[in-house]
């Protein structure tokens, strides 16, 4: 079944550690995104990719980095985690065959990775 997977679902680490949040999709989507979400707040786009070897920063400044070496894989890395990085990170993808008849890209989200930095 086509889907989008995020690991780990929950992560508690100490300040200064390097972490990588994994995101993989099996839908063959060309576009992938990382959003950051805090409780009661809207989602903020931090990174996106139009395809392999293409990555762009989003609207919200983030100290994280991403890579897109394979179509299905879009990992996010924090070189040195800080308490201010504590948040929910949501990965999403879009593209054929997820396009609606009107042409709009419909995002499919992963279950999220809840990061807590102590």
Q: Which of 1, 14, 40, 84 is in the footprint of other proteins by CB under 8 A? A: 40
Q: Which of 7, 71, 86, 108 is in the footprint of other proteins by CB under 8 A? A: 108
Distance of CA 87 to CAs 36, 71, 79, 84, 93, Å? 7, 26, 16, 8, 20
Q: Which of 41, 52, 60, 118 is in the footprint of other proteins by CB under 8 A? A: 41
Asked whether the beta carbons of 88 and 46 are under 8 A apart, the reply is no
Distance of CA 33 to CAs 91, 103, 110, 118, Å? 6, 19, 10, 26
Give the separation between CA 113 and CA 36, rounded to whole angstroms: 10
Q: How far is the CB of 43 from other proteins (least distance, A)?
A: 5
Q: How far is the CB of 85 from other proteins (least distance, A)?
A: 19
Which residue has tokens 């924090």?
78
Binding status of residue 75 toward other proteins by CB under 8 A: no
Binding status of residue 45 toward other proteins by CB under 8 A: yes
Residues lying near other proteins in the complex (CB under 8 A) are found at 6, 31, 40-45, 50, 90-92, 100, 102, 104-112, 114
């Amino acid at each position: 079944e086509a889907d989008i997977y995020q690991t780990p679902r929950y992560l508690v680490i100490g300040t200064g550690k390097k972490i990588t949040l994994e995101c993989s999709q099996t839908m063959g989507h060309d576009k992938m995104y990382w959003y950051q979400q805090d409780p009661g707040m809207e989602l903020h786009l931090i990174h996106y990719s139009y395809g392999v070897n293409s990555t762009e920063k989003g609207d919200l400044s983030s100290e994280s980095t991403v890579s897109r070496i394979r179509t299905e894989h879009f990992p996010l890395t924090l070189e040195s985690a800080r308490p201010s990085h504590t948040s929910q990170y949501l990965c999403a993808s879009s593209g054929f065959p997820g396009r609606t008849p009107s042409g709009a890209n419909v995002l499919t989200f992963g279950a999220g990775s809840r990061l807590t930095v102590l």
